[in-house]
A and B are shown apart, each in its own frame.
Chain A
Amino acid sequence: MAFETQTLDIKGNRLSLKRGGQGEPLLYLHGTEGLSHWPQFLDDLAQKYDVIAPDHPGFGSSPTPEWMDDISDLAYIYLDLMQALNLKRAHVVGHSLGGWIALEAAVRSQERIGDLTLLAPAGIHVKGQQKADIFLIDPDEQARMAYADAALGAAASEQANAEKYQEVAIRERIASARFGWNPRFYNPRLGRWLHRIGVPTLLIWGDTDRIFPPAYGPAFQSLIPGAELVTLKNCGHLPHVEKRAETLAAMQTFMAR
């Protein structure tokens, strides 16, 4: 599926995005790993949807405006983006950091959001449920931990080790830290507003997620009214990569309703 790269000006900020496919609009918000390794999952979704996949500010080809320092800035940027593209009833899909952004946007306004699919999202903290500190470990170790399958983890680890001091990898770690350093990938105030989410919400979690433990799934479910939770077996922190078919199947059933 051919994706076209576009650069949009959102209130004076340059945002680079890839857009491909036809159908209902689907906004994909990536996690800390960015989009430099394009997930095939997005090609699959573009068979049926108009997929819009931006590089978050500081990731890929999007520069970071110096004033940006909080997750709420990203939430507003994407509300502005949906408005600029005049999206209606968009399927919003977010992975990890991107899931957090989707939630922060949704508690502010669901005017243009049709439904939410959250793949192992960040955003809240459950007491006693320790997340991996992806800033303390090296990228190769993080890549290994992201998979349930040891062979996939080893291959990803080797690649991450080779790329960790390349410009884009360094920049994306900086962008991740800008929004997720303290507290680590959560907003202590988010949980108290998740009750505002009134659109259908699907949570997908790997049962062997060693970055964000699977216990976060039920915690989110209890905070978001009517949210469904699908747990995938033998799956780590990247359900859309490690269990692509099952993830797509769960999403398509959900989004078709």
Chain B
Amino acid sequence: MKVMVFYLMPYADLDPGIKDKYRSAWIVLPNSHFDPEKGHALYNRYLDELELCDELGFDGVCVNEHHQTAYGMMPSPVVTASALSRSIRKGRIAILGSAFCLRENPLTLAEEHAMIDVISGGRLISGFVRGVGSEYFSFGANPVHSLERHQEAHDLVVRAWTEPGPFAFEGKHYHFEYVNLWPRPLQQPHPPIWCPSMGSLETIEWAAHPDRKYVYLQNFSPRLAVARYLNLYREIAQRKFGYEAKSDRIGYGAPVYVADSDEAAVNEARPHIEALFNIFLPKVSEMMFYPPGYMSPESLKSVMQLKRANAGGVKIETLIERGIIFCGSPDTVRSQIAAAQAELGFQEFLCMLQFGTMPAALSVKNIRLFAKEILPHLQALTDRDYRGFELPKHAAE
């Protein structure tokens, strides 16, 4: 299994009092709550920690994109990935991902990804995301066209990365007279493309298509939902496309906190993971996360059923019990992740070793202990113990 570290880079100095004043840390939280001096220290601390992970033998570092929120300070993961492209010497640099379809011109991102790939000597992973629902409020982009634009932007970018230019692109949403990327990416035919998702059926099916077979990554979800969506990828591959999906196409990301004992781990992680779920994550409304047309009516109904069942998971004990986070002593965490691997068969694991308000003293301790006690064990794990999945009686919803 490959193990990468994934940072959201939250504004960890967020005043917890905002919870009583604003409905969400997304979009409606005034940016007067962002102190650039503190931001300076945080960015550099997070970059240092990711560089430490590279030194300690992780298979890569991951950054992602969110807008107008204290939840993550990376409206442009291209900036953080660029900063890392000279200092990360061994591992992969994964942008998970960029929301190409939010842009009026996705080629600007295609150029930037190509630059990072060339500078890093071909170590970039390009995640293609649609952005969470709230980004459609931040950008003004119409969520009704999200899926179409996502797929069209992908086609445009892959052609731009692989076909000799200049050529003209005539799509439904994008029209360009001249496509001729300088530079082209170093990796051939192009950097690996990953599909991080919240479990939209359309994305899973698209990622699993035999023309693509992209890594499907489920982040940050209850185990039940993760199992459902990861298995859905395999099921669609088998039932709809007639091939067996390999375990290296299956990615899973979760917060991890490890300490000397289970009790110490829970106590140390508690305020920070609970802040993540109770202060950084809440939305103004359900609609803010699932704006109209962002998902098909079928996907929305299915997601809302799962969401409702999971409402109220705000205590660390619940998060551990539901398999949303891994937390405990090295023995506990090793066996938790091994059990998840046996159940889900993922061969790409993303651990979030800093979350919410967690200060450097704890995240660095977490990184070092994880690297020493968990990482070698996981890197040796194959999918040999994967139990396989059962095709459900009913077709995928």
Chain B proximity mask over A162-183: 1 for CB below 8 Å, otherwise 0: 0001010011011011100111
Chain B positions within 8 Å of A174 at CB level:
144, 292-293, 297
CA distance A136 to B28 in the complex (A): 10
Give bound CA distance, A150 to B220, whole Å: 40
Q: 1/0 per residue B279-313: CB within 8 Å of A?
A: 00000111110011100010011001000000000
Residue A137 is within 8 A (CB to CB) of chain B in the complex: yes
Nearest-Cβ distance from residue B351 to partner chain A, whole angstroms: 33
With both beta carbons as reference points, the residue of chain B lying nearest to A184 in the complex is identified as B140
Given A178-B144, A182-B141, 7 other A-B residues pairs in contact with their CB atoms under 8 A: A137-B284, A137-B285, A170-B300, A177-B143, A178-B142, A181-B136, A181-B143
Min CB–CB distance B283 → chain A (angstroms): 10
A-B contact pairs, 20 of them (CB 8 A): A136-B137, A137-B284, A137-B287, A138-B287, A170-B292, A170-B297, A170-B300, A171-B297, A173-B292, A174-B144, A174-B292, A177-B142, A177-B291, A177-B292, A178-B144, A178-B293, A181-B142, A181-B143, A181-B144, A182-B140
| Inter-chain contact A165/B301, CB cutoff 8 Å | yes
In the assembled complex, B145 has its CB within 8 A of some CB on chain A: yes
Chain A contacts for B293, CB-based, 8 A:
174, 177-178
Does chain B have a CB within 8 A of A193? no
Beta-carbon contact of A69 and B287 below 8 Å: no
Complex CA gap A182/B140 in Å reads 6
List residues of chain A with CB under 8 Å of any chain B CB: 69, 133, 135-139, 141, 165, 167, 170-171, 173-174, 176-178, 181-183
Q: Nearest Cβ distance between residue A176 and chain B, in whole angstroms? A: 7
Q: Beyond A69-B145, A181-B142, is A165–B300 a contact (Cβ under 8 Å)?
A: yes
- The CA-CA distance from A178 to B27 in the complex, in Å, is 22
Q: Mark B63-89, 1 if CB is under 8 A from A, else 0.
A: 000000000000000000000000000
- Contact partner, B144, options A136, A167, A177, Cβ 8 Å: A177
Inter-chain contacts of A181 with B (CB < 8 A): 136, 140, 142-144, 292
A182→B142 contact, CB < 8 A: yes
Residues of B contacting A170 with CB < 8 Å? 292, 297, 300-301
Q: With A and B bound together, what is the CA distance between A176 and B141 in angstroms?
A: 14
Q: Report A-chain residues with C-beta under 8 Å of the C-beta of B144.
A: 69, 174, 177-178, 181
Of the candidates B145, B287, B300, B304, the one whose C-beta lies within 8 Å of that of A135 is B287
* Closest CB in chain B relative to A222 CB, distance in Å: 28
Interface residues of B in 26-76 (CB under 8 A from A): 27
Chain B residue numbers with a CB within 8 Å of A177 are 142-144, 291-293
Of all chain A residues, the one with the shortest Cβ separation from B308 is: A165
Residue picked from B141, B144, B300, most chain A C-beta under 10 Å? B144
Contact of B292 among A167, A176, A182 (CB under 8 A): A176
B68 CB to nearest A CB, Å: 12
